[in-house]
Amino acid sequence: MLKKSSILLVFTFVFFACKKAEDRACFKGKGDDASLEYVLPIQVDSLMLYDNLFYTLIDSDEHKVVLKGGDNLLKHIDVQVGDKKLTLRNKNKCSFLRSFKNEIHAYIYVDTVRSIHYEGSKQLLSKDTLFSNELRLMITDGAGDVNLILKNSYTSAVITHGFGNFKLSGYTNAAFLHCNTNSYCDTRKLKVTHGLNVISNTVSNMLINANSHSFKAEIYESGNIKYVGNPGTVSFSKYGKGNLIDLNN
Protein backbone atom coordinates (compact mmCIF):
# COMPACT_ATOMS: atom_id res chain seq x y z
CA MET A 1 0.00 0.00 0.00
CA LEU A 2 2.84 2.38 0.85
CA LYS A 3 4.53 1.62 -2.48
CA LYS A 4 1.33 2.38 -4.40
CA SER A 5 0.87 5.65 -2.51
CA SER A 6 4.45 6.68 -3.28
CA ILE A 7 3.99 5.94 -6.98
CA LEU A 8 0.75 7.95 -7.05
CA LEU A 9 2.39 10.90 -5.31
CA VAL A 10 5.34 10.92 -7.72
CA PHE A 11 2.98 10.69 -10.69
CA THR A 12 0.93 13.62 -9.36
CA PHE A 13 3.96 15.89 -9.03
CA VAL A 14 5.28 14.87 -12.46
CA PHE A 15 1.88 15.54 -14.02
CA PHE A 16 1.63 19.04 -12.57
CA ALA A 17 5.26 19.79 -13.35
CA CYS A 18 4.42 19.40 -17.04
CA LYS A 19 2.26 22.53 -16.84
CA LYS A 20 3.48 26.08 -16.46
CA ALA A 21 3.00 27.47 -12.95
CA GLU A 22 0.44 30.05 -14.05
CA ASP A 23 -1.63 27.30 -15.74
CA ARG A 24 -1.89 25.19 -12.60
CA ALA A 25 -4.70 25.86 -10.14
CA CYS A 26 -2.62 24.07 -7.49
CA PHE A 27 1.00 23.06 -6.75
CA LYS A 28 2.57 26.44 -7.50
CA GLY A 29 4.03 29.54 -5.91
CA LYS A 30 2.23 32.86 -6.21
CA GLY A 31 4.79 34.29 -8.64
CA ASP A 32 5.81 37.93 -8.94
CA ASP A 33 3.44 40.75 -7.98
CA ALA A 34 1.37 41.72 -10.99
CA SER A 35 -1.89 43.33 -12.10
CA LEU A 36 -4.45 42.28 -14.67
CA GLU A 37 -7.13 44.58 -16.10
CA TYR A 38 -10.48 43.54 -17.58
CA VAL A 39 -12.41 46.24 -19.45
CA LEU A 40 -16.08 45.33 -19.14
CA PRO A 41 -17.91 45.16 -22.49
CA ILE A 42 -21.18 46.40 -20.97
CA GLN A 43 -22.29 48.55 -18.07
CA VAL A 44 -23.09 46.47 -14.99
CA ASP A 45 -25.15 47.33 -11.91
CA SER A 46 -25.28 43.94 -10.16
CA LEU A 47 -22.33 42.22 -8.50
CA MET A 48 -21.92 38.55 -7.57
CA LEU A 49 -18.81 38.37 -5.39
CA TYR A 50 -17.44 35.08 -4.07
CA ASP A 51 -14.80 33.98 -1.57
CA ASN A 52 -11.03 34.39 -1.20
CA LEU A 53 -10.78 37.83 -2.78
CA PHE A 54 -10.42 41.28 -1.23
CA TYR A 55 -12.93 43.56 -2.96
CA THR A 56 -12.81 47.35 -3.35
CA LEU A 57 -15.64 49.20 -5.13
CA ILE A 58 -14.70 52.47 -6.83
CA ASP A 59 -17.24 54.96 -8.17
CA SER A 60 -16.13 55.74 -11.72
CA ASP A 61 -17.33 56.40 -15.26
CA GLU A 62 -15.04 53.57 -16.31
CA HIS A 63 -16.30 50.01 -16.24
CA LYS A 64 -13.48 47.65 -15.47
CA VAL A 65 -11.97 45.19 -13.00
CA VAL A 66 -8.34 45.40 -11.93
CA LEU A 67 -6.85 42.35 -10.23
CA LYS A 68 -3.65 42.58 -8.18
CA GLY A 69 -1.67 39.70 -6.73
CA GLY A 70 0.80 36.99 -7.69
CA ASP A 71 0.96 36.51 -11.46
CA ASN A 72 0.55 32.73 -11.10
CA LEU A 73 -2.74 33.29 -9.27
CA LEU A 74 -4.42 35.98 -11.34
CA LYS A 75 -5.09 33.73 -14.32
CA HIS A 76 -7.41 31.62 -12.18
CA ILE A 77 -9.72 34.47 -11.21
CA ASP A 78 -12.91 33.90 -13.17
CA VAL A 79 -14.52 37.13 -14.43
CA GLN A 80 -17.94 36.76 -16.06
CA VAL A 81 -20.20 39.50 -17.44
CA GLY A 82 -23.76 39.17 -18.71
CA ASP A 83 -27.21 40.70 -18.33
CA LYS A 84 -25.74 43.76 -16.50
CA LYS A 85 -24.23 41.39 -13.93
CA LEU A 86 -20.56 40.97 -12.97
CA THR A 87 -19.48 37.70 -11.31
CA LEU A 88 -16.05 37.10 -9.75
CA ARG A 89 -14.72 33.80 -8.43
CA ASN A 90 -11.29 32.71 -7.23
CA LYS A 91 -10.62 29.29 -8.77
CA ASN A 92 -7.14 28.88 -7.33
CA LYS A 93 -6.93 25.66 -5.32
CA CYS A 94 -4.67 24.24 -2.58
CA SER A 95 -4.47 27.55 -0.75
CA PHE A 96 -2.72 25.76 2.15
CA LEU A 97 0.41 25.58 -0.04
CA ARG A 98 0.61 29.39 -0.16
CA SER A 99 1.34 31.95 2.55
CA PHE A 100 -1.56 33.84 4.08
CA LYS A 101 0.17 36.98 2.80
CA ASN A 102 -0.54 36.04 -0.81
CA GLU A 103 -3.70 38.08 -1.12
CA ILE A 104 -5.58 38.81 -4.33
CA HIS A 105 -7.30 42.19 -4.56
CA ALA A 106 -10.13 42.95 -6.98
CA TYR A 107 -10.82 46.62 -7.72
CA ILE A 108 -14.22 47.07 -9.35
CA TYR A 109 -14.89 50.36 -11.18
CA VAL A 110 -18.60 51.12 -11.62
CA ASP A 111 -20.83 54.19 -11.72
CA THR A 112 -24.00 52.55 -10.36
CA VAL A 113 -24.48 49.58 -8.05
CA ARG A 114 -28.03 48.33 -7.62
CA SER A 115 -27.43 44.86 -6.18
CA ILE A 116 -24.58 43.07 -4.40
CA HIS A 117 -24.57 39.36 -3.58
CA TYR A 118 -21.57 38.64 -1.35
CA GLU A 119 -20.25 35.26 -0.21
CA GLY A 120 -16.85 36.02 1.24
CA SER A 121 -14.62 35.73 4.28
CA LYS A 122 -12.23 38.54 3.35
CA GLN A 123 -13.27 42.17 2.88
CA LEU A 124 -15.65 44.20 0.76
CA LEU A 125 -15.38 47.98 0.95
CA SER A 126 -16.06 51.09 -1.08
CA LYS A 127 -13.28 53.57 -1.67
CA ASP A 128 -15.77 56.43 -1.84
CA THR A 129 -19.53 57.01 -2.03
CA LEU A 130 -21.64 54.62 -4.12
CA PHE A 131 -24.51 56.41 -5.88
CA SER A 132 -27.71 54.70 -7.04
CA ASN A 133 -31.48 54.85 -6.80
CA GLU A 134 -31.39 51.79 -4.58
CA LEU A 135 -28.93 49.26 -3.20
CA ARG A 136 -29.82 45.73 -2.18
CA LEU A 137 -27.01 43.98 -0.30
CA MET A 138 -27.30 40.25 0.35
CA ILE A 139 -24.60 38.50 2.42
CA THR A 140 -24.84 34.72 2.35
CA ASP A 141 -22.66 32.25 4.23
CA GLY A 142 -20.02 34.92 4.74
CA ALA A 143 -17.65 35.90 7.53
CA GLY A 144 -15.97 38.93 5.99
CA ASP A 145 -16.20 42.61 6.80
CA VAL A 146 -18.41 44.78 4.58
CA ASN A 147 -17.89 48.54 4.81
CA LEU A 148 -19.78 50.73 2.32
CA ILE A 149 -20.49 54.45 1.90
CA LEU A 150 -23.87 55.06 0.24
CA LYS A 151 -26.13 57.75 -1.17
CA ASN A 152 -29.45 56.54 -2.54
CA SER A 153 -33.20 56.48 -2.08
CA TYR A 154 -33.51 52.97 -0.66
CA THR A 155 -31.10 50.57 1.04
CA SER A 156 -31.68 46.93 1.91
CA ALA A 157 -28.98 44.98 3.77
CA VAL A 158 -29.60 41.35 4.72
CA ILE A 159 -27.32 38.66 6.15
CA THR A 160 -29.07 35.33 5.65
CA HIS A 161 -26.72 33.27 7.86
CA GLY A 162 -23.11 33.01 8.96
CA PHE A 163 -20.73 35.26 10.88
CA GLY A 164 -20.72 38.18 8.45
CA ASN A 165 -21.19 41.82 9.28
CA PHE A 166 -21.82 45.11 7.52
CA LYS A 167 -20.98 48.70 8.35
CA LEU A 168 -22.88 51.31 6.37
CA SER A 169 -22.54 55.08 6.29
CA GLY A 170 -23.92 57.89 4.14
CA TYR A 171 -27.50 58.87 3.27
CA THR A 172 -30.68 57.06 2.26
CA ASN A 173 -34.39 57.87 2.33
CA ALA A 174 -35.53 54.46 3.57
CA ALA A 175 -33.76 51.34 4.82
CA PHE A 176 -34.41 47.69 5.65
CA LEU A 177 -31.77 45.98 7.82
CA HIS A 178 -31.91 42.28 8.74
CA CYS A 179 -29.32 40.15 10.57
CA ASN A 180 -29.58 36.39 11.20
CA THR A 181 -27.73 33.67 13.19
CA ASN A 182 -24.37 35.16 14.39
CA SER A 183 -24.16 38.24 12.19
CA TYR A 184 -24.09 41.87 13.28
CA CYS A 185 -24.06 45.39 11.86
CA ASP A 186 -23.19 49.01 12.58
CA THR A 187 -25.14 51.71 10.73
CA ARG A 188 -24.78 54.53 13.25
CA LYS A 189 -23.29 56.70 10.49
CA LEU A 190 -26.07 55.93 7.99
CA LYS A 191 -28.66 58.71 7.97
CA VAL A 192 -32.16 57.48 7.12
CA THR A 193 -34.62 60.32 6.59
CA HIS A 194 -37.94 58.47 6.34
CA GLY A 195 -38.76 54.85 7.17
CA LEU A 196 -36.32 52.51 8.95
CA ASN A 197 -37.20 48.82 9.40
CA VAL A 198 -34.83 46.64 11.47
CA ILE A 199 -35.17 42.89 12.09
CA SER A 200 -32.85 41.10 14.53
CA ASN A 201 -32.78 37.30 14.33
CA THR A 202 -29.21 37.06 15.60
CA VAL A 203 -27.41 36.45 18.89
CA SER A 204 -25.22 39.49 18.21
CA ASN A 205 -26.00 43.19 18.50
CA MET A 206 -27.20 45.54 15.79
CA LEU A 207 -26.06 49.16 16.17
CA ILE A 208 -28.44 51.55 14.41
CA ASN A 209 -28.93 55.25 13.68
CA ALA A 210 -32.67 55.58 14.24
CA ASN A 211 -32.88 59.34 13.71
CA SER A 212 -35.60 58.89 11.10
CA HIS A 213 -39.25 59.80 10.60
CA SER A 214 -40.34 56.30 11.66
CA PHE A 215 -38.48 53.38 13.25
CA LYS A 216 -39.79 49.82 13.31
CA ALA A 217 -37.83 47.15 15.21
CA GLU A 218 -38.43 43.41 15.61
CA ILE A 219 -36.34 41.01 17.75
CA TYR A 220 -36.54 37.22 17.42
CA GLU A 221 -33.34 36.12 19.19
CA SER A 222 -31.05 37.10 22.08
CA GLY A 223 -29.23 39.90 20.25
CA ASN A 224 -30.06 43.51 21.07
CA ILE A 225 -30.92 46.40 18.78
CA LYS A 226 -29.03 49.41 20.10
CA TYR A 227 -29.84 52.77 18.57
CA VAL A 228 -28.78 56.39 18.55
CA GLY A 229 -30.90 59.29 17.36
CA ASN A 230 -34.48 60.32 18.06
CA PRO A 231 -37.03 58.77 15.70
CA GLY A 232 -40.38 60.46 15.12
CA THR A 233 -42.29 57.25 15.90
CA VAL A 234 -41.17 53.88 17.27
CA SER A 235 -42.81 50.49 16.76
CA PHE A 236 -41.21 47.59 18.67
CA SER A 237 -42.12 43.90 18.63
CA LYS A 238 -40.27 41.44 20.86
CA TYR A 239 -40.35 37.69 20.23
CA GLY A 240 -36.91 36.74 21.62
CA LYS A 241 -34.69 37.56 24.60
CA GLY A 242 -33.01 40.61 23.07
CA ASN A 243 -33.95 44.18 23.90
CA LEU A 244 -34.32 47.51 22.17
CA ILE A 245 -31.74 49.75 23.87
CA ASP A 246 -31.60 53.53 23.62
CA LEU A 247 -27.94 54.62 23.51
CA ASN A 248 -28.81 58.30 23.81
CA ASN A 249 -29.15 58.01 27.60
In terms of domains, do 168 and 105 share one?
no
Which residues span the domain enclosing 78?
Answer: 20-112
Number of domains in the chain: 2
127-146 residue pLDDT tens: 999 999 999 999 998 788 99
Left, alpha or beta for 13 (phi > 0: left; psi -120 to 50: alpha)? alpha
Q: Is residue 249 part of a domain?
A: yes
In terms of domains, do 230 and 148 share one?
yes
Return the H-helix or E-strand segment holding 4: helix 2-17
| β partners of residue 162 | 142
Residues contacting 51, CB < 8 A, separation 6+: 90, 119, 120, 121, 122, 142
Q: Is residue 85 part of a domain?
A: yes
47-89 residue pLDDT tens: 999 989 999 999 999 999 999 999 999 999 999 999 999 999 9
